[in-house]
Amino acid sequence: MKKFLCKVAVYVVVVVSLTLLLNGIYMNKKASTNVYDYVPADIEICNLGSSHGEHGFYYKDLEDDYTCFNFALGAQMPSYDYRILYHYQDHLKPGGVVLIDISYFAPWGYPESESDSFASKNRRYYTILPPSLIKNFDLYTYVLDCMIPSLNAGMLNVWETLFSERQTLEEIPKSYPEVEDTVDRSTLEEDVRDSCERHIFTNKRNEDGELFLNEEEVQALYDIVAICRERNVMPVFVTVPYLKEYTDEIQRRDEDFLEQFSRWINTVADETGVAYFDYSRDERFMYDDSLFYNGDHLNSAGARKFTNILFEEVIQQRIGGSLRP
């Protein structure tokens, strides 16, 4: 029995050692495509936010003169905006600007951890944040995604990587998506209806059908502002442009929503002393299908136009002097 246990122990040690060795080779050869592995130092202009921010800020025209980064991710709530900013705060350059995207769905409803889709969405943060900043941290997921990713990559992928030249990137991945598509009118009505349902109804209302504030998400905005002040950077609240059909659908479903949202965000702006700029119904965007890929997301052309306008109207005109010319 003793010899058998020794053999088992040796077998386990050999298997674990080989697994770790192959994993090390795999990680060394495989280039990372995670933009968060390339967060630059001395960021002068950056943004937080959900997919509206992810697709709404496009820094190509500013990158020759300023160091920029887009921290937004799809369906990202302010509580994770805060965690990301907290983790990467040393990358902010004093005198810079943090644009805080405020989507219509941001402050309302039940904790996101109660959503059926939370686990799959939460998984992405294991390769972005340390365990202490991940909600409902799970060690098993951390080991698979961060410590031994080869176990989760598929045998064919691992095999091809191990016996190929070390992968390199032609350029550091940009922190903004390239979406050239424009609005498809044949699906727009269904699209804005579904977006409206997700954004201001699903998990956002109590048993009486009334919107209620999620205190964790609201408090996160105050915490984000506190970090900005500590790092001597300028926080700015922004709501990006939407297509008219999207805001019309929201107003049709809940005629008081836009007023309620405006009252809430302006209260936060007043209490924090942070300026709020609402482009959600800006006439330079809301009627122009060529600037959107669906009812509430700008495409690359729209994001580029919006970012340049924001730079001219907000960063330069209202925060002039805090950034180098």
Indicate yes or no: pTM above 0.75. yes
3-state secondary structure of 37: helix
**Mean pLDDT for the stretch of residues 23-51:** 77
Three-state secondary structure call for residue 273: coil
Across the chain, what does the average pLDDT equal?
Answer: 86
- Distance (Å, whole) CA 162 – CA 138: 28
The full set of domain ranges for the chain reads 42-125+174-318
Residue 296 tokens read as: 């509430």
How large a percentage of the chain has pLDDT more than 90?
71
Q: Which helix (H) or strand (E) holds 259?
A: helix 257-272
Residue 93: phi, psi to the nearest 5? Answer: -90, 130
Bridge partners, 292 (sequence order)? 298
- Tell me the pLDDT tens digit for each residue of 167-215: 555 666 778 888 999 999 999 999 999 999 999 999 999 999 999 999 9
Q: What is the pLDDT of residue 141?
A: 77
* CATH class of the 42-125+174-318 domain in this structure: alpha beta
